[in-house]
Amino acid sequence: MFPVLGWILIAVVIIVLLIFTSVSRCLSPVSFLQLKFWKIYLEQEQQILKSKATEHATELAKENVKCFFEGSHPKEYNTPSVKEWRQISSLYTFNPKDQYYSLLHKYVNRKEKTHSIRSTEGDTVIPIFGFVDSTGINSTPGL
């Protein structure tokens, strides 16, 4: 009897998740094709960011090692500040008025250079956009 109840519980959970997923996709403010484009954009952005970060880190490390052994001062490298890293690393919220495909996209397109890109009026967290925050860019093992 208990195994049957267990299987019924599993079936109910799967059905509820399927219904939730279907309803959230039907009520999504973006189309299926735009969602596909969004995922492709994020994959490309992450690959390019990883490549540029690796390149920048390598150049900075080379310069620091060179200066250590030569006893000289390093040339200046423009590395984003902690505040800038935090702004592109927080939870993404969707705003139908300003459609950005990532926090990096929102950050580079901000109106004022000192203006924060934190949530503004009209921003909402939509379950269908979970892939924006759940992709590999938020984890460090790949970097």
Q: Are residues 31 and 62 in the same domain?
A: yes
- The residue ranges of DSSP E strands in 89-129, in sequence order, are none
Indicate whether 58 and 70 sit together in one domain.
yes
Q: How many residues comprise the chain? A: 143
What pLDDT does 116 receive? 55
Fill in the amino acid letter for 47.
Q
Q: Check whether residue 27 and residue 67 sit in a common domain.
A: yes
Range of the domain at 44: 1-78
Q: Tell me if 87 sits within 8 A of 104, measured CB to CB.
A: no
Block mean pLDDT (10 aa), the chain, length 143 = 89 96 80 86 94 94 93 88 86 75 85 56 53 50 48
Rg from Cα positions in the chain? 22
pLDDT at 87: 84
User: Which region holds residue 110: left if phi is over 0, alpha if psi is between -120 and 50, else beta?
Assistant: beta
Report if residue 5 sits inside a domain.
yes
What integer pLDDT is reported at residue 67 of this predicted model? 93
pLDDT at position 93 is: 72
